[in-house]
Chain A
Amino acid sequence: DTGVSQNPRHKITKRGQNVTFRCDPISEHNRLYWYRQTLGQGPEFLTYFQNEAQLEKSRLLSDRFSAERPKGSFSTLEIQRTEQGDSAMYLCASSRGGSYNSPLHFGNGTRLTVT
């Protein structure tokens, strides 16, 4: 169990630029979740995959956000035309099946700063 890996750890970008984050889940986990966390708040759900299928998206996930998990393994989260309000920690988590049967394991996140 090597844990959930997220890259990069930090990203500073200028407003209007596109950014992409990567998440490598624990190898045998078929569910992968993306959350966003702002300072002083709990993680907020963005989207989740079961294998390669994206099963749910939050209303927080505007059309500037897109997530993929093409082969059911790693996932990418892309933000187009970044805005200052996108500055946050983006957390990825994985589990074997639904959380009731298998806890979510989180990575250490990617901290995005939009200047």
Chain B
Amino acid sequence: KQEVTQIPAALSVPEGENLVLNCSFTDSAIYNLQWFRQDPGKGLTSLLLIQSSQREQTSGRLNASLDKSSGRSTLYIAASQPGDSATYLCAVNWDNDMRFGAGTRLTVKP
């Protein structure tokens, strides 16, 4: 059964820190992996998508990596800001079956 796990469930850091969010998944035969941001009471905003053939993607202060063989992805956030506070969700796609992790709730303190 395909499963996605995110650790930690919650993270609190002071402003300016670099941080890493983790996502692990069963079954390495994925189509792609997508990282989302969700603000309280809102929908999901796509941050980065990594295709199966790629190792990483970057957008601004965000960098996502993918290691299919070990079933892991990381989302690196550089120089965190209070505006980065949100829940970050990892979603893995296996052939029309997209599974989400439960998310990491990030708080960046001024």
**Chains A and B belong together in one complex:** no
Interface residues of B (CB under 8 A from A): none
Interface residues of A (CB under 8 A from B): none
